């Protein structure tokens, strides 16, 4: 059989292979200037071929790899004993999102051995990383579940006894205001510990099959507005509901809890911002702090997205990813347990929805989006 390589169409075949390949491929000249990128490269990073050619791969660079990293990479590629480099890199696409890839760089040479340029082939690891995170989270929740089960048993019972005795004490010291106050504090603290154990059990519980029903969001969000009304008035926060006519598939008892958690966080974030002073965001918005809850339909009406925006202290980029982890809090000890958003995530997932967060950093407020399935009509 005639070999493909003897054939004069070989060049075209190789070209088509690279062109149609699902992995992003880039080819640079000796100086690192991009001379070719394949369609998968354009799709992954969001740049057109015209935008990419003439640039260097620095276009994709993130601060995750420093100069030392690149020096070592080039030393490896140019080392004739090794001759290539392979490793994980975080690239940045045109729209700013980060793409984790496994990148292989090899020099290509003239027949005499002189390097003419370099070829980089990337394998997009986004799905893989997401799955890894998911497994890690399940593992973590399973450990928390075991711990919480033990705590509920070993600490929950003595706590129950302590609470009973503290209540008895409270009755016995009715005529002694100082002792009464102390007993009340003890009961409050016992309830705090019990609440924490309950939260741990809640986030690690393997859910029973949740029966989702078609629920009108407007009354649920109006109830949240009523519950938050007094606190917001006192704190001079405008609480606005905007276009909240939307139906979702949900477990009704979950909805109020999750939206209250998010809105309470917003009030705390606004308090924190107030303590820091006026922000540019606030000046653009007429000087009054706000929490705005609105809904919109997505994906042709299949998804209802509930957005909760606030003019609070905002979130630093390095904290965005950690927000939904149990015990992550930026509040002072005793002020927050860091369980609120872990519970929100759990409730949303049990309703087969998603929750995400956006913030441009400190002082710029935050937006949480809860996406739930909308009933088909």
Which positions touch Mg ion (CB under 5 A)? 265, 340
Q: Does 263 bind ligand ATP (CB under 6 A)?
A: no
Q: Does 361 bind ligand ATP (CB under 6 A)?
A: no
When binding is defined by CB under 6 A, the residue of 244, 269, 306, 345 that contacts ligand ATP is 269
Q: Decide which of Mg ion, ligand ATP, none touches 310; Cβ closer than 5 to 8 Å per partner kind.
A: ligand ATP
User: Look-up: residue for tokens 């980029």?
Assistant: 317
DSSP 140-187: HHHHHHHHHHHHHHHTHHHHHHHHHHHHHHHHHTTT-HHHHHHHHHHH
Provide the sign of the torsion angle of the four alpha carbons 42, 45, 48, 50, taken in this order.
negative
Q: Does 194 bind ligand ATP (CB under 6 A)?
A: no
Q: Does 304 bind ligand ATP (CB under 6 A)?
A: no
Choices 93-101, 298-306, 330-338, 346-354 (CB under 6 A): range interacting with ligand ATP: 330-338
Choices 93-101, 226-234, 252-260, 311-319 (CB under 6 A): range interacting with ligand ATP: 311-319
Closest CA to 24 of 11, 32, 34: 34
Q: Does 369 bind ligand ATP (CB under 6 A)?
A: no
Gap between the Cα atoms of 4 and 1, Å rounded: 9
What are the two backbone dihedrals, phi and then psi, of residue 95, each rounded to the nearest 5 degrees?
Answer: -80, 5
Q: Which is nearer to ligand ATP, 292 or 310 (CB)?
A: 310
Residue 67: CB minimum distance to ligand ATP, A: 32
Taking 3-state DSSP, the helix, strand and coil percentages for the chain, each rounded to the nearest 5, stand at 45, 20, 30
Closest CA to 257 of 141, 189, 324, 346: 346
Gap between the Cα atoms of 186 and 182, Å rounded: 6
Q: Which is nearer to ligand ATP, 104 or 329 (CB)?
A: 329
Residue 51: CB minimum distance to ligand ATP, A: 35
When binding is defined by CB under 6 A, the residue of 328, 350, 362, 373 that contacts ligand ATP is 328
Residues 216-255 touching ligand ATP, rule: CB under 6 A, are none
Q: Which residues bind ligand ATP (CB under 6 A)?
A: 265-266, 269, 310, 312-315, 323, 328-331, 336-342, 366
């Amino acid at each position: 059989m005639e070999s493909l390589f003897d054939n004069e169409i070989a060049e075209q075949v190789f070209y088509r292979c690279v062109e149609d390949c699902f992995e992003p491929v880039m080819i640079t000249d000796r100086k690192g200037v991009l001379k070719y990128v394949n369609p998968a490269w354009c799709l992954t990073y969001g740049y057109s071929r015209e935008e990419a050619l003439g640039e260097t791969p620095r276009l994709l660079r993130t601060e995750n790899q420093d100069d030392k990293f690149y020096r070592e990479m080039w030393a490896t590629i140019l080392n004739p004993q090794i001759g290539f480099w392979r490793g994980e890199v975080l690239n940045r696409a045109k729209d700013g999102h980060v793409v984790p890839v496994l990148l292989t760089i090899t020099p290509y040479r003239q027949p005499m051995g002189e390097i003419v340029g370099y070829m980089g082939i990337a394998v997009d690891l986004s799905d893989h990383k997401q799955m890894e995170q998911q497994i890690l989270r399940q593992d973590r929740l399973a450990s928390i579940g075991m711990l919480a089960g033990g705590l509920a048993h070993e600490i929950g019972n003595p706590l129950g006894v302590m609470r009973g005795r503290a209540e008895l004490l409270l009755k016995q010291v009715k005529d002694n205001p100082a002792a009464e106050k102390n007993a009340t504090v003890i009961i409050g603290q016992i309830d705090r510990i019990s609440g924490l154990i309950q939260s741990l059990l809640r986030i690690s519980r393997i859910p029973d099959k949740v029966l989702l029903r078609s629920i009108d969001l407007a009354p649920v969000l109006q109830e949240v507005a009523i519950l938050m009304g007094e606190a917001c008035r006192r704190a001079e926060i405008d609480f606005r509901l905007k276009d909240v006519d939307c139906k979702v598939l949900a477990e009704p008892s979950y909805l109020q809890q999750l939206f209250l958690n998010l809105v309470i966080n917003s009030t705390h974030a606004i308090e924190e911002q107030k303590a820091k002073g006026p922000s540019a965001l606030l000046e653009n918005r007429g000087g009054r702090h706000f929490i705005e809850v609105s809904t919109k339909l997505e994906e042709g009406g299949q998804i209802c997205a509930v957005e909760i925006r606030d003019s609070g202290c905002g979130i630093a980029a390095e904290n965005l990813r950690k927000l939904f982890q149990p015990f992550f809090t930026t509040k002072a000890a005793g002020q927050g347990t860091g369980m609120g958003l872990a519970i929100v995530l759990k409730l949303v997932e049990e309703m087969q929805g998603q929750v995400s967060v956006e913030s441009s950093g400190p002082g710029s407020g935050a937006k949480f989006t809860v996406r739930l399935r909308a009933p088909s009509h």
